[in-house]
Amino acid sequence: MLTIAYIGNGKSTNRYHLPFSMLLKDKIKIKSIYSRSGKSQWPAIDGIIYTSDISDIYLDDSIDLVVITTSNASHFSLAKEALEHGKHVLLEKPFTQTYEEAKSLFDLAKSRNLFIQCYQNRRFDSDFLTVQKVIESGKLGDLLELEMHFDYFRSETPEQSTFSAIDSFLYGHGCHTLDQVIGYFGKPDKVHSDVRQLLGSGKMNDYFDLDLYYGALKVSVKSSYFRIKARPSFIVYGKKGMFVKETKDRQEEHLKQFYMPDNEDFGVDTPEHYGTLTYISDDGVYHEEKIVSEIGDYSRIYEGVYQSIVHGAEKVVKDEDSLIQIAILEEAMQGLIDKETL
C-alpha cells in the first residue's frame, strides 16, 4: 500500500483528486488531509484524519506521498518542504512559475532518492486519447496542423481580477494543453507565443495563442475568456484528411454534477459527442465517419504514481516534460511581466 496525505482541502483535492485516488483501494491508503483551518466546505470522509498542523503530515513516518493541491504561488515552497521532510511529492499544475524552481525541485528529489511529479491528469482526457487513436490509425496521413482550444465565456472573471503571472490564464490553463502536446510530440523545434490582456494593463491575462513547430507540423494551443461559443476541442489536419472533436472530455462535467467515477458511464461520451473523421483512403475513396471516443480516466495518474514509487516504473510525466513546459510558459509570459513593471 502507498500511504498518502493531501496538503490542501479545497475544490482541487475534493473534486479532482480524491474521487480518483479512492478508486485504487487495494493500492492507496489516504491517511490525512491538511488545511490551515483543518475544516472544509466539503463533507468529511470517514477514516481520514483532518488536521490544521502540517507537522502531522511531515513528521508521520507512515506517510509515503504528499499530494499538494494548494494555490499556485505556494507550490514551490510546499514541495520543497515536503521533499526536505523525506516525502515523495505529487504536485498540482502549474508545477512552478520558473524553470529554475522546477529544476531545483527535481534536483532535490534526485539527491534524496525521492519521487516528484506534476499532476497532469489531462493526459487521460477522452478527447485527447481519441485524437491519439485517430493519428495512430494512419488515416490522416502525414500530419500538417493540429489546433487545440480551451475556451470560456466568463467576462466577469478577468474584469474582477488583477495581473499575476502564476495565476494567469496561461499558467492556469496552458499547463493542461501544453502538457498534452509535449507529452505526445516531445520538445518543439521552436515556439511562437501571443499572450494578451484583452481588458488592458493591470488586468489578468485572459487570452493566449501558442504555436509549437515540429518539422512540417504546427500545433496551435489557443484559449480565451471571451468565446461565447467555444471552438472545437481538437482539429487535426493531415495530407489525407482531417479529424474534428467538438466537445471536451466529460469527466469534469460529471464531477461538477457530483456524478462520481464509481458509475460505469462516468465521463463516457455518447454518440452526439463523437468526433468526425474525414479522409481519402489509399484507393481514392472519400470517407466520413464518426469515431467512438476513448474513455478518459484520471485515476491512471494515481496508478502511474503507485507503479513508479512502489515498483520503480518510469514516471508517467517525465521530468523533462515538465521542464520544457515551464520554460515555454515562463518565456511566453515574460512580455506581459515586462509591460506590467514599466
Domain co-membership, 30 together with 168: no
Please report, for the domain that includes residue 287, its CATH number. Answer: 3.30.360.10
Does the residue 315 lie in any domain? no
Distance from C-alpha of 60 to C-alpha of 5, rounded to nearest angstrom: 10
pLDDT band for position 336 (50/70/90)?
confident
Q: Which domain holds residue 286?
A: 122-299+329-340
Domain co-membership, 139 together with 86: no
Q: Which residues pair with 91 in a beta bridge?
A: 68, 118
Domain co-membership, 146 together with 247: yes
Return mean pLDDT, the chain. Answer: 96
Domain co-membership, 231 together with 142: yes
Domain co-membership, 130 together with 264: yes
What's the pTM?
Answer: 0.95
Domain co-membership, 107 together with 167: no
3-class secondary structure per residue, 155-208: CHHHHCCCCCCCCCHHHHHHHHHHHHHHHHHCCCCEEEEEEECCCCCCCCCCEE
Residue type, 264: E
Does the residue 311 lie in any domain? no
Whether the per-residue pLDDT at 342 is higher than 70: the answer is no
Number of domains in the chain: 2
Does the residue 312 lie in any domain? no
Please report, for the domain that includes residue 66, its CATH number. Answer: 3.40.50.720
Whether the per-residue pLDDT at 20 is higher than 90: the answer is yes
Task: Please write the tens of the pLDDT for every residue from 80-108.
Answer: 999 999 999 999 999 999 999 999 999 99
Task: Please write the tens of the pLDDT for every residue from 28-57.
Answer: 999 999 998 877 789 999 999 999 999 999
Domain co-membership, 41 together with 159: no
Domain co-membership, 176 together with 272: yes
Domain co-membership, 136 together with 173: yes
**What percent of the chain is modeled with pLDDT above 70?**
99
Domain co-membership, 194 together with 134: yes
pLDDT at 38: 78
User: For the chain, what's the residue count?
Assistant: 342
More confident residue, 292 or 340: 292
